Chain A
């Protein structure tokens, strides 16, 4: 049964495993292959990242799955079925396809773009419309945007629509080729986080291609590091990759800062935060001074009635009788419990601040993170043993 048929009956959609069996791709009469005897198994519901230097054949390998590049030798099996035995066009309608330049149809509305594959599959109009709206909500966009044209959307929005389009017909497998590559770094981080959150919900089998090892570690359940000539140097979980690189090539590629990279495997919530001495507007400054004594953070954090951070208070602020409504120092970066630790560290460093308030999903203060906490953690023996526990993908 194809995914389309399964969804028709309202059953829970399944994801399929993907297996490469001696898959080889040779172009023309060149003796070196773009992909050479690739043997890889991606379990259903997992994100497998193909990463490597340019020319290593990662994109070619990905395209072998939906036959946008044809196999020279060997086979690729989706859920046990060989792709060679399927009609290419029909096969592709069951596989989600996201590319770097997105490739939305400029002449169709956003909703029509999302509904492209369902339309090819012959769904009824009403159903397509409903599905488009559903997906827009899922990717975090206002359903009203459905009537706009791609040219009216920002780059980040377009990329999200590209992902929604790939998900529309509930595919068995998703292929993503540097999907966030063309986005600016800030939005890229946001999109990565959102995709991880999405994946936690829908658990598709994803083949994700990138040249960025940091993205690979962040996004992948499993990572295949490929070398030029299309062979796999190592196929392992992110933690294994960081702790025990298979050879010099992998070690070089992963980078010397493996310790810092480990931070990509953690969330801010995983670490013990400092408590923030809170100050409310109008509170007596004497009370606040009391709290400061012995606190790990030398500055009080001004919060509103909902315990949402407003700014840091300075000595000058505390000179008055009561806490002023406007803090002296700006707020600086604000982190969330959900944030990946590596991104949190980057924000701290970029904001040039020692401390940053950490909030929960509702925006309420949960603690304070400082660079000191992070470096202490990295040095601690606890960090070394926790590496084994870090195999689990942080779920949203």
Chain B
């Protein structure tokens, strides 16, 4: 009943579904038929249902991020040395960034068909462009004097890259990883439209779309996953860059 009252202001703002004005008693109807915001009992009983979608979701995210990172990192190393590669790569990644992932799924369809592969390719492309941009910027932001000193003291190009430039680019690269991972977790809910599974699956069913508890659980798991990834990556970054803490302190 409280939820109905809370919904009133929102209802006043626009069109309202019929269900709001139906009389109902929570004692006589099962929870999912009511308009309650969250059915705790149902949740407790049915939480197991979300196991497979969660695992699928995790797989999608992990594979996409790893593949995207690997390719982006390689491209960034290439473009770092060869400036002429930068404009074309920037244009391509710019396009990938703009095209909505959902559209991307279906542009790939003639080639890869429905299913998990399509989703992974599309998501990888998305993470790729974020990480590429950040990795390149991170490498480029190494101070010129530091590079000069490294070269002048007798480091080879390879040594400069691995011992100086990359360690200093870590914060920016991890920042890109964090953004990419969090966004991918959110976007992967759309995988259901390409028959790729994931946490969008429980939502995109005829019963699921109107059952708020279901949406909250599925969406909540996704957001929780995103935060866990985000915080883990942040912790890794802090651990890998002790000198930044020292500078602050």
Contact = CB atoms under 8 A, between A and B. Distances in A.
Note whether A and B contact each other (Cβ less than 8 A).
yes
Interface of A: 66, 68, 89-95, 97, 99-108, 116-117, 120, 148-149, 151-152, 162, 165-166, 175
Contacts of A91: 154
Contact of B146 (A97, A105, A148, A152): A105
Among A92, A106, A116, max chain B CB count under 10 A is at A106
B70 to A, nearest CB: 24
Contacts of B215: none
B154 A106 contact: no
Given A89-B154, A97-B152, 8 more contacts: A68-B151, A68-B152, A89-B159, A92-B152, A99-B145, A106-B146, A120-B159, A152-B246
B149 A89 contact: no
Interface of B is mostly: helix
Nearest to B152: A97
Contacts of B146: 103-106
A108 B149 CA distance: 14
Interface in B132-155: 143-155
B246 A117 contact: no
Contacts of B242: 149
B53 interface: no
B152 A120 contact: no
30 contacts: A66-B152, A68-B148, A68-B151, A89-B154, A89-B155, A89-B156, A89-B159, A92-B152, A93-B154, A97-B149, A99-B152, A101-B143, A104-B146, A105-B146, A105-B164, A106-B146, A106-B168, A106-B243, A107-B167, A107-B168, A107-B241, A117-B154, A120-B155, A120-B159, A148-B246, A149-B242, A149-B246, A151-B243, A151-B247, A166-B153
Contacts of A101: 143-145, 148
Contact of A151 (B145, B147, B156, B246): B246
A165 B247 contact: no
A89 B152 CA distance: 8
A374 B16 CA distance: 96
Q: Which 7 A-B pairs have the closest CB atoms?
A: A103-B149, A93-B154, A92-B154, A101-B145, A97-B152, A151-B247, A103-B145
Interface string B143-185: 1111111111111100100001001100000000000000000
A99 B149 contact: yes
A105 B155 contact: no
Nearest to A116: B153
A106 B143 CA distance: 10
A97 B247 contact: no
Nearest to A68: B152
Contacts of A89: 154-156, 159
Nearest to B164: A105
Contacts of A104: 146, 149
Contacts of A117: 153-154
A173 B218 CA distance: 68
Contacts of A90: 154
Nearest to B151: A68
A162 to B, nearest CB: 8
B167 to A, nearest CB: 5
A99 B153 CA distance: 11
Nearest to B149: A103
Contacts of B145: 99-103
Given A104-B146, A120-B159, A149 B247 contact: yes
B247 A99 contact: no
Contacts of A95: 154
A68 B168 CA distance: 23
Contacts of A175: 152
A100 B148 CA distance: 11
Contacts of A166: 153
A99 B148 contact: yes
A331 B247 CA distance: 38
Nearest to A109: B243
B236 to A, nearest CB: 16
Contacts of A148: 246
Contacts of A100: 145
Contact of B154 (A99, A120, A151): A120
B154 A105 contact: no
A49 B153 CA distance: 21
Contacts of B243: 106-108, 149, 151
A18 to B, nearest CB: 16
B150 to A, nearest CB: 7
Residue among B152, B155, B243 with most chain A CB within 10 A: B152
A102 B159 CA distance: 19
B244 to A, nearest CB: 8
A262 B147 CA distance: 39
Nearest to B160: A89
- The interface centre, meaning the residue of B144, B152, B153 with most chain A CB atoms within 10 A of its CB, is B153
Interface in B224-249: 241-243, 246-247
Contacts of B164: 105, 107
Given A149-B246, A151-B243, A103 B154 contact: no
